[in-house]
Structure 1
Amino acid sequence: MMTGDFCQEQLQYCFPSSNASCIKAQLGVGINFALYLLFALGMLVTILGNSVVIMSICHFKQLHSPTNVLILSLALVDLLVGVIVMPFSAIRTVTGCWFYGEDFCLLHSSLDVFLTTLSIFHLVCIAVDRQQAICNPLHYSRRITMSVAVMMVCISWALAAVFSYGLLYSKANIAGLEDYMASINCLGSCYLLFNPLWGILDSVICFFFPCTVMVCLYTQIFVVAKEHVRKIGDMSNWLIRAECKAARTLSIVLGVFIFCWMPFFMNSIIDPLTGFHTPGLLFEVLYWLGFFNSACNPIIYALFYPSFKKSLLTKFVVV
């Protein structure tokens, strides 16, 4: 009895004044510090890196192209992840508590789904742009203009918003989970759950189908590029070389996106079908692995994208 009382005294609650409060995560001071440091570093890289990409595209005229309009919008999406989504998620992960109310919980979850969906839509647009540039180079400048790129961006933002906010605010994603939600609900909780139907549909619509399309497009790109190399021989055409390098860089962006988000979307399908038995620690790891994708993209641009490397090096040499 004394042991039970002692354990009860050691528990800390998100809202101590409420009997319905969730229990705080108790990870220890050292682990809390390490997690906050890791998340702060991830947010810093995400915010600074994507800000550099945005400012570079806006500042350097040589970067004003349809492809870079799409990359600019993708960088803005990643920047919003670092500024709006990651800070609140970091606090929830470390403390195990949501301190900001049910309304902001729903808004935050919707933003999370919205920005993730928007990222994949941008990557599809970029893949289409590169496919046209390399597979139909004679018609590319006529088909993919700045206006077309802006239209692709606007359509991506609109479709992602309708899907994410429509799904979560209609509560279609938790239909049939009312009993389960009631059993785990407490003051200070904020869960993003999908029933078996929407766990599959969301993963297919927002990840697996777009990724399949992009893999097919990039496969076609590299087959055609290889044929160009065979015909030209010594690759004397600098334009084809530049286009191939750009396509290779953007395929790395796609590969990193798949690596970061596939485990999460696989779990989104499996978890509802197995009664939501994914361990909390594993879920947080998968969740943050996806977030850190937003920090990887600007690093890839800086290291591998020829136009960005040239512009940034020119800027630093001038300075």
Structure 2
Amino acid sequence: MKKMNCTNCTIKSKTVTEKMLISITLAVITILTTVLNSAVILAICTTKKLHQPANYLICSLAVTDFLVAILVMPLSIAYIVMDTWSLGFVICEIWLSVDMTCCTCSILHLCVIALDRYWAITDAIEYARKRTVKRAGIMIITVWTISIFISLPPLFWRNHHNVNIPTQCIIQHDHVIYTIYSTCGAFYIPLTLILILYYRIYHAAKSLYQKRGSSRHLSNRSNDSQNSFAHCKLTQTFCVSEFSTSDPTMEFEQINASVRTPPYDNDIDMFGERQQQISSSRERKAARILGLILGAFMLSWLPFFIKELVVGLSLCTVSPEVADFLTWLGYVNSLINPLLYTSFNDDFKLAFKKLFRCKEHS
């Protein structure tokens, strides 16, 4: 997503020191984004345990963010530091199109990941049969298709403006209908859907935890733990495996083992209290994880799309410096995504350890 067309703005040239600081900071962000997303892609490709449809969606997200890092960020750095576009009209058109497509695609990936997790926790048994590689592939193709259709329209009119200004490479805001269409399709609709889905995911997970935690009698505890174990094995997703940093299979096996050993009567209340504490702890952990995912996404992209909407509707203008800052704030989401979507999963942690161990020995 690129800087806006700023009429009536006085452009102040940057000093050499400012240019160096900007280029170093943005280069570090670009390199980290490239490395982290490459690590996610390699981990999924080389680790058999991660070959699951849900992880293929995360891999596709990493590929999209990797493309943002290698195709979009470097040219943006050059443009910001040089204060002029010197690569010609064709490269400008390609850059703007790739930028809009990849950034939109990254946002829509977050939406389908949330949808996949929602189905997995609310309809575990049925969705376990539907959650196939083919289904994940269809979701990925759909995301890319929608992204292309959102970013394609400006190609039909952008050249009429930019061909006469070879030193600028900017998105025009003179089509109000397209501004509303693109901002809603690329951000506001996905944001609304993500908020609704994660709200329901959290409450579904909370309900599962409370059911297990409130089991008071031995027979009920045994049945609940067995059902929860089967449920989690079927979903292999947000229900516990991503709300917990431990292996959910082992966790439920331990609960089953403790239930099979009949406790003394005076231990039953203590067991129930302990289960309630575990349930509350998991609820808090679930809330923190969801808060991080949603908070990072909204802090990264919401300011940019508010700016796009108000500028597109001619409600106000912003300086090039502010526009660049908000654009890169959005790009930072491509750096955060590989951290948030893998850090709470033990399988990914083990895969990363093996990956980096191999690199050290090579």
Same fold? TM cut 0.5: yes
- Structure 1 residues 65-76: aligned runs within 5 Å: 65-76=52-63
The answer to whether structure 1 residue 215 and structure 2 residue 195 are counterparts is yes
* Equivalent residue, structure 1, for 2:306: 266
Whether contact under 8 Å (1:24, 1:95) holds in the other structure is no
Stretches of structure 1 that go unaligned for 5 or more consecutive residues are 1-22
Paired with 1:257 and 1:224, the residues of 2 have a C-alpha distance of 22
Paired with 2:39 and 2:348, the residues of 1 have a C-alpha distance of 10
Deviates further, 65-74 or 229-238: 229-238
Paired with 2:350 and 2:290, the residues of 1 have a C-alpha distance of 17
- Structure 1 residues 120-159: aligned runs within 5 Å: 120-159=107-146
* Equivalent residue, structure 2, for 1:12: none
Deviation, 1:220, is: 0.7
Paired with 2:357 and 2:319, the residues of 1 have a C-alpha distance of 50
Percent of residue pairs bearing the same amino acid type: 30
Which among 300, 305, 314 is matched to residue 345 of structure 2? 305
Question: For residues 316 and 250 of structure 1, do their structure 2 counterparts lie closer, same or farther at Cα, with a shift above 3 Å needed?
Answer: farther
Deviation, 1:161, is: 1.6
Paired with 1:276 and 1:42, the residues of 2 have a C-alpha distance of 30
Q: Residue 99 of structure 1: SS of its match in structure 2? A: coil
Deviation, 1:275, is: 6.5
Whether contact under 8 Å (1:118, 1:156) holds in the other structure is yes
Question: For residues 251 and 129 of structure 1, do their structure 2 counterparts lie closer, same or farther at Cα, with a shift above 3 Å needed?
Answer: farther
* Equivalent residue, structure 2, for 1:170: 156
* Equivalent residue, structure 1, for 2:171: 192
What's the CA shift string for 1:66-88, capped at 9, x where partnerless?
Answer: 11111111100000011011111
Which among 285, 292, 311 is matched to residue 325 of structure 2? 285
Whether contact under 8 Å (1:124, 1:210) holds in the other structure is yes
The answer to whether structure 1 residue 224 and structure 2 residue 210 are counterparts is no
Paired with 1:215 and 1:90, the residues of 2 have a C-alpha distance of 32
Deviation, 1:264, is: 0.7
Q: How well do the aligned residues superpose, as a CA RMSD in angstroms?
A: 2.7
Q: One-letter code of the match for 1:242?
A: S
Whether contact under 8 Å (2:243, 2:344) holds in the other structure is no
Deviation, 1:312, is: 2.2
Whether contact under 8 Å (1:70, 1:153) holds in the other structure is yes
Whether contact under 8 Å (2:180, 2:309) holds in the other structure is yes
Stretches of structure 2 that go unaligned for 5 or more consecutive residues are 1-9, 215-223, 233-238, 246-285
Paired with 2:348 and 2:89, the residues of 1 have a C-alpha distance of 42
* Equivalent residue, structure 2, for 1:53: 40
Q: Residue 241 of structure 1: SS of its match in structure 2? A: coil
Paired with 1:104 and 1:276, the residues of 2 have a C-alpha distance of 29
Whether contact under 8 Å (1:127, 1:217) holds in the other structure is yes
Whether contact under 8 Å (1:200, 1:268) holds in the other structure is no
Whether contact under 8 Å (1:123, 1:254) holds in the other structure is no
The answer to whether structure 1 residue 29 and structure 2 residue 8 are counterparts is no
What's the CA shift string for 1:223-275, capped at 9, x where partnerless?
Answer: 11111011111895463421434987576334312211111111111013336
Aligned pair count? 289
Paired with 1:154 and 1:244, the residues of 2 have a C-alpha distance of 28
Paired with 1:101 and 1:316, the residues of 2 have a C-alpha distance of 41
Between structure 1 and structure 2, the one with the greater Rg is 2
Deviation, 1:291, is: 1.0
Whether contact under 8 Å (1:46, 1:295) holds in the other structure is yes
Question: For residues 94 and 280 of structure 1, do their structure 2 counterparts lie closer, same or farther at Cα, with a shift above 3 Å needed?
Answer: same
Paired with 1:58 and 1:65, the residues of 2 have a C-alpha distance of 11
Give the TM-score normalised by the residue count of structure 1. Answer: 0.82
